[in-house]
Structure 1
């Protein structure tokens, strides 16, 4: 996923942007179209991007969604990308409500991205999310759910038998959301990615909050786990080093955070990791000596060791490490 731009493909389909179509309200007002309308692809041949401008939108999101329903055979739509749904303080509940209300008319929906919002539209930690649990309950055949933004985000423990990829991109993921993931039952889930973020922006999860995920009781099919973008990345590495779920993984992602020599040492002295295809640690703060040790211990495994960051010296003599994505 590209953090800094809109998606061009999703669910293995090219993205079609509904905003390229003329707005019927313009025609009624007699306004001239700003460009020739683009021909629509078949409903099943595109991932449909629904978004309104972040500033001075000409319509509300429900009005935009109504145009989508009128223009596209939504019974054939398998992938939807949701961009801006209003101003910076607008909650995603308006989107969740529209999707849930139309769930019976979206039987083919398998892939959903809630929050494909560029930083010039809204910073990631300013995106106002909501309770997304109704989406999982309304779409039992959903296979992919990606949510961007952690502010006001709510997830209740849930059982979902079809979901294969779950991803939360945030500058701060609430602790109760992390616990809810660990308490949920996802028998088909193969890939789980959490951008945990920093406490300043709501990322208050502790190692204890990760316990359900690390035990993996509700995640029997998981082969890819990302616990990323955290200011407690060393502690996470130490917990991962003894976690039951790791022996079942093929790919483990501890990148984007503040991982240093302490966390890397825990990985080296913990359970064997040579079964992994990838242990990605990019955006880290390890010394060269530790990088060399890790490369020697895990030959042939994709590591991302070249993506080194530098600690910043503070006036009080402390050093400061930073995560890749916060505000």
Structure 2
């Protein structure tokens, strides 16, 4: 059992007792949460003595002001809010019709729920700031027990959520946090009626690869999910190592829950060391309306790439794929891109990114014969291994890209002469050189993808 007590300095004392009945031991840990702790173990001659000692210690701690901790996140939205599926459907039918939002807000106010006024005040604040209204909105937020910013953030349109981001930045190491129950309560509110974009960061660090797919399936139970337009999984800060963050096997869950997505971004490593099934799965995608797909990873394996290239994405026009280092978790090769570059997988592609890879000349050879090359308006080869040996090869095939408007070679191993040669060869194309700082730190001829962990 665990007991906690808040301190006047904002920190938290804790006391935890673990019982081993077989060995008749009582392990006691106490201290200040995330600061320090001490641990002692006591052995008893009988189970009766152990139970008596535990009971006495527990009563003493309760008398000293300790109490059982509240599971983080469980206090939000303690009771369901009123909803009207017919009025919600009317909003989603045409999100540009402001009147539909107002009708639903009026109906909600008629249900004696603070959420109706919350929507009205939020809509008003979209037009102009007003300190009094901001104070009122916070009071309504508290009355409704909406999640605090360390669990969820959002932006509104006409008072309803336009985008919603979930991340447990309060304590993502808390095993007891239940992200599925938390998401279920929030997704069921009328505020999600016209949600256009869902973003998910870290929910529980050690269980994120399980939590994210589960939360997606919970979302799929709600009507608004069928018209969601944008989804971003792995929406984490830049100081989180990619290899240490994973979003789980999400392909099927995305397809089932969000069939009308237009834009999808996945940011994930694989945490292969866990050895507990697929921690980053992208197979099974079938999204008939998807136009843009970004997959940022340092762990593009042959299997993951094959699963992606089997996806059914008939309207896909923009694709950005990251790979990773071949001496880490990324074993996909330039040869494995055949279905992509010959136009079989996604024939409508006009914007292509093959990013964070170590393919070198092997990729350029395949770009030269690619059926996609004549239709590309944008090509991104950033964060990779282009250097003075491969840049001339790329310059030689410039005429294969008659429509190319942008060529991104940022963060490679290029010198000024390489950039000049590419700029001269791609006469009608904007060459984005960015930074080539990797060259200064390269040892001999070692070339590497920018993000390997």
Matched ranges for 1:217-228 at <5 A: 217-228=344-355
RMSD of the alignment, in Å? 2.7
Name which of 245, 255, 259 aligns with 2:386. Answer: 259
Please give the alpha-carbon distance, in whole angstroms, between the structure 1 residues aligned to 2:182 and 2:229: 21
- Whether the 8 Å CA contact 2:396–2:425 is kept in 1: the answer is no
The change in CA–CA distance for 1:233 and 1:117 in structure 2 (over 3 A counts) is farther
Is the alpha carbon distance of 1:190 and 1:156 closer, same or farther for their aligned partners in structure 2, counting shifts above 3 Å?
same
Contact 1:233 1:254 in 2 (8 A): no
Q: Does 1:124 align with 2:242?
A: yes
Deviation at 1:268, TM superposition (A): 2.2
Q: Which residue of 2 aligns with 1:79?
A: 197
The answer to whether residue 409 in structure 2 is matched with residue 292 in structure 1 is: no
The runs of at least 4 aligned residues of structure 1 exceeding 3 Å deviation read 36-45, 55-58, 70-73, 311-314
State the structure with more CA Rg.
2
Which residue, out of 107, 110, 116, partners 2:229? 110
1:163-191 C-alpha deviation (Å, 9 max, x unpaired): 11111111222221212222323210011
Match of 2:451 in 1: 325
Say whether residues 1:237 and 2:364 are aligned partners. Answer: yes
Q: SS state of the match for residue 374, structure 2?
A: helix
Q: Which moved more, 1:261-270 or 1:251-260?
A: 261-270
Q: Does 2:327 match 1:208?
A: no
Name the CA distance, whole Å, in 2 between partners of 1:170 and 1:37. 41
1:50 alignment counterpart: 166
* Distance of aligned partners of 1:83 and 1:157 in 2 relative to their CA distance in 1, 3 Å threshold: closer
Distance 2:442 2:264 in 1: 39
CA deviation after TM superposition for structure 1 residue 312, in Å: 3.9
Residues 321, 311 of structure 1: CA spacing in aligned structure 2 closer, same or farther, 3 A cutoff? farther
Q: Cα offset for 1:66?
A: 2.7
Residue 8 of structure 1 aligns with which residue? Answer: none
- Picking from 301, 311, 317, the partner of 1:174 is 301
Q: Structure 1 unaligned runs (5+)?
A: 1-21, 29-35
How many angstroms does 1:111 deviate by? 0.7
The structure-2 alpha-carbon separation of the partners of 1:113 and 1:24, relative to structure 1 and needing over 3 Å to count, comes to: same
Matches within 5 A, 1:60-71: 60-71=178-189
Q: Which residue of 1 aligns with 2:266?
A: 147
**1 or 2, which has the higher helix percentage?**
2
Aligned equivalents of 1:248 and 1:208: distance in 2?
21
**Distance apart, 1:248 and its partner CA:** 1.5
Higher relative contact order (CA 8 A, sep 6+): 1
Checking the alignment, whether the CA contact within 8 Å between 1:238 and 1:263 is kept in structure 2 is: no
Q: How far 1:130 sits from its partner (Å)?
A: 2.0
- Give 1:147 deviation, angstroms: 0.7
- The answer to whether the 8 A contact 1:50-1:64 is kept is no
TM-score, normalised via structure 1 length = 0.80
Q: Secondary structure at the match of 1:141?
A: coil
Is the 2:219–2:257 Cα contact (8 Å) retained in structure 1?
no
What are the superposed Cα offsets for residues 292-313 of structure 1, whole Å, 9 maximum, x if unpaired?
A: 2111111241212252231545
* Alpha-carbon offset, residue 290 of structure 1: 2.4
Aligned 8 A contact 2:243 2:268 in 1: yes
Structure 1 residue 157: deviation in Å?
5.0
Deviations 1:2-54 (A, max 9, x none): xxxxxxxxxxxxxxxxxxxx9562899xxxxxxx5685735755210011122
Q: Give the length in aligned residue pairs.
A: 295
**TM-score computed with the length of structure 2 as normaliser:** 0.59
